[in-house]
Amino acid sequence: MSDPLHAYIVSQGEELLTGQTLDSNSHFLCGQLTDLGLRVRGAITAGDRVEAIASALRLAADEAAVVVCTGGLGPTSDDLTADAAGLAFDLPIVLHDEALTQIETRYRDAGRPMPESNRRQAMLPKGCTVLENPVGTAPGFAVTTPGGRLYCLPGVPFEMKRMWTQQVATDLAARFSISPPERRLFRVLGKGESQLQDLLGDLPTLHPGIELGFRARMPENQVKLVAPQGHPGMDEAAALVRARLGRDLFAEDEGLELAGAIGQLLLDRGERVAFAESCTGGWVSHLCVSEPGSSRWLERSWVTYSNQAKQDELGVRAETLQAHGAVSEETAVEMARGAREAAGVDWAVAITGIAGPTGGSPDRPVGTVVFSIVGPEVEHTRRLRLPSSGRTPTRRFSSFIALDMLRRQLLRAGAAQG
C-alpha cells in the first residue's frame, strides 16, 4: 500500500485564538480529507498578522502536498489570507477581473450597490485559480505551490463547505491520484459507544483488513467500516453490523437525517404527522421542515407553551392540567390525541417537559420530559428523566428522542402489517 497523500490545514482568524469562535471548519476538513484517503499531518491556526499566516502556510506546504486554508477572505483590513499567500510563495497580489465580476454580480443579484471595500476581495495572488463562492461575496482561490497546491476558502462554514464540495474536492481528485478507501457508515440511536464496542468489537477479527471506528455525535453514535476499495468481505461485514444493530440503526447515509428517515417511512405508508410541542418549543418541527419535501408528510404543528394554548388548540381538559400538571402522562396523551384529531392525520407526537433552569420540583425535577405518540391503534406514552446538562441539551435530546420514538413506532406498525 503506497504512502497516502498528505494534507495540512491552516485556519485563519484572531477570533479563533481569542476563543470567541470554535474552529469547526478544521474538524470538517479533517474528516473530508481523511474520507478521500488523504492523511492529515497537522493543523495550525494563525491570527490576524500577515507574517504569522504566511509562516503557517509555508510550514503547511513543507509538511504536505495539499494545504487547505480557511478564513481571512473578507473585505476588511484584518482579512489577510491573500496577502499572506503572496508573501509565503512569492506571488504578487493583483486585481482579478473574474473575481471582481463575481462579487459585483452577487451584489447586483441582491439589488445592492457593491461597497468600495469589497474590491479588496478581488486582490488575489497572480496566477491563481479563482474559486467562485456561490453563497457569499468572498471568492476563494487555489495556487500551485512548490510542493503541491494551496486552496484558500472563506471562513463562514456554509460557504466553505459548499465550495469544498463543489470545487476543491473535485479539483483534488482531478490533480492528484487519489484512491479513497471504501467506507460504510451506520448511524445509531439508543446505544452508547461502549455498548457498540461490546457488540461489534470482534468484527476486525472476523473480517481482517476492515477497520472498525466509532464516533459520538450525541445523542447519535456512528459506526464506521473502512477498507481498501474492493475488499471482498465488505458487504458481508456490513450485513453483520446491520443485523447486530437492528432497529437502533436509523440510517446508512451521511445525508439522511433522522427526520428524513421518518419522512421516508411515512411516505411509504401514505401517512402524515403533526406535533404538539411544549418544552421543545418548535425544535422537532424545525428538524422535520429542514427536510426538503416535508410538506408531504408534516401536516402542521403547535407550540403550546402555555396551559391556555394546550386547552384551546389541543383540547387538553382543564381538569387534567389541574389534577396532573402540564408535565404528566395524562396531559401528554391528551395533547397527542388532540393534535391528531385537529390536524386530521394518522400520527401525532406530543412532548411536554421541564427544560430548566427553573420550574423543577422534587417529584418532577428539571429534565423530566413526557412523550406521547398516538397513531393507528397505537398509544405509547413515556416519561423520562434526562441528565441535567442544561436547557439546550435537554431540549435537543428531547427533540431527538421524540423523533426516534416515532421512528420505532412506525417500524413496529410496518412489521405488524408485513
Which residues 329-388 are close enough to bind its own copies by CB under 8 A? 342-344, 355-358, 385, 387
Residues between 288 and 317 that touch its own copies (CB under 8 A): 288-290, 292-295, 298-306, 308-309, 312-313
**Interface residue with its own copies, options 58, 252, 390, 408 (CB under 8 A):** 390
Tell me if 253 contacts its own copies by CB under 8 A.
Answer: no
Q: Check residue 267 for interaction with its own copies (CB under 8 A).
A: no
- Minimum distance from CB of 194 to its own copies (Å)? 4
Q: How far is the CB of 237 from its own copies (least distance, A)?
A: 17
Residue 111 or 232 having the CB closest to its own copies:
111
- What one-character DSSP code corresponds to residue 5? P
Q: Which is nearer to its own copies, 59 or 411 (CB)?
A: 59
Between 75 and 412, CB nearer to its own copies: 75
- Alpha helices for 213-273 (secondary structure H): 234-245, 258-269
Distance, in Å, from the CA atom of 154 to the CA atom of 139, rounded to the nearest integer, reads 7
Q: Which is nearer to its own copies, 112 or 377 (CB)?
A: 112
d(CA 162, CA 75): 20
Q: Residue 404 corresponds to which cell in the numbers above?
A: 426516534
Which CB sits closer to its own copies, 382 or 385?
385
- Minimum CB separation from its own copies for residue 300, in Å? 4
- C-alpha grid cell for residue 212? 472498525
Tell me which residue has cell 421516508. 264
Q: Does 15 bind its own copies (CB under 8 A)?
A: yes
**Sites for its own copies among residues 121-160 (CB under 8 A):** 134-136, 155-156, 158
Closest to its own copies by CB, 47 vs 147, is 47
Residue found by looking up cell 504569522 in the block: 52
Q: How far apart, in whole angstroms, are the C-alpha atoms of residue 333 and residue 318?
A: 14
Is residue 408 at the binding interface for its own copies, with CB under 8 A as the rule? no
Query: How many Cβ atoms are within 10 Å of 209's Cβ, its own excluded?
Result: 13
Give the strand pairing for 66-70 and 148-153.
Answer: parallel
**Candidate segments 34-42, 229-237, 261-269, 328-336, binder of its own copies by CB under 8 A:** 34-42
CA distance 160 to 144: 20
Q: Does the protein bind its own copies through residue 168 (CB under 8 A)? A: no
- Of 343 and 417, nearer to its own copies (C-beta) is 343
Interaction of residue 245 with its own copies, rule CB under 8 A: no
Number of residues that bind its own copies (CB under 8 A): 111
Does residue 65 belong to the site contacting its own copies (CB under 8 A)?
A: no
Span 172-231, contacts to its own copies by CB under 8 A: 192-195, 197-198, 201, 213-216, 218
Give least dist CB 416 to its own copies, A: 28
Minimum CB distance to its own copies, residue 368 (Å): 13
Q: Is 115 in the site for its own copies (CB under 8 A)?
A: yes
Examine residue 31 and tell whether it contacts its own copies (CB under 8 A): yes
Q: Which of 275, 104, 253, 99 is nearest to 187 (CA)?
A: 253
Least distance to its own copies, CB of residue 286, Å: 4
What residues between 72 and 111 interact with its own copies by CB under 8 A? 74-78, 106, 109-111
Radius of gyration for the chain, computed over Cα atoms and rounded to the nearest angstrom = 26
Query: The C-alpha cell of 45 is what?
Result: 491556526
**Segment contacting its own copies by CB under 8 A, of 33-41, 171-179, 235-243, 410-418:** 33-41
The span of 236-244, 245-253, 390-398, 403-411 binding its own copies (CB under 8 A) equals 390-398
Q: How many CA atoms lie within 13 A of 103 on its CB side?
A: 25
- Residue 158 grid cell: 456554509
Q: What is the rounded CA–CA span in Å between residue 7 and residue 64?
A: 5
- DSSP track, 109-168: HTT-PPPGGGGGGGEEETTPEEEP-TTSS--EEEEEETTEEEEEE-SSHHHHHHHIIIII
- Give the residue with the Cβ less far from its own copies, 136 or 375: 136
- The grid coordinates listed for 287 are 428538524
Could you give the CA distance from residue 13 to residue 329 in angstroms, rounded to a whole number? 50
- Nearest-angstrom CA–CA distance, 328 and 348: 17
> CB of 307 within 8 A of CB of 326?
yes
Q: How far is the CB of 191 from its own copies (least distance, A)?
A: 11
Distance, in Å, from the CA atom of 345 to the CA atom of 340, rounded to the nearest integer, reads 5
Mode of pairing for the β-strands spanning 39-46 and 66-70: unpaired
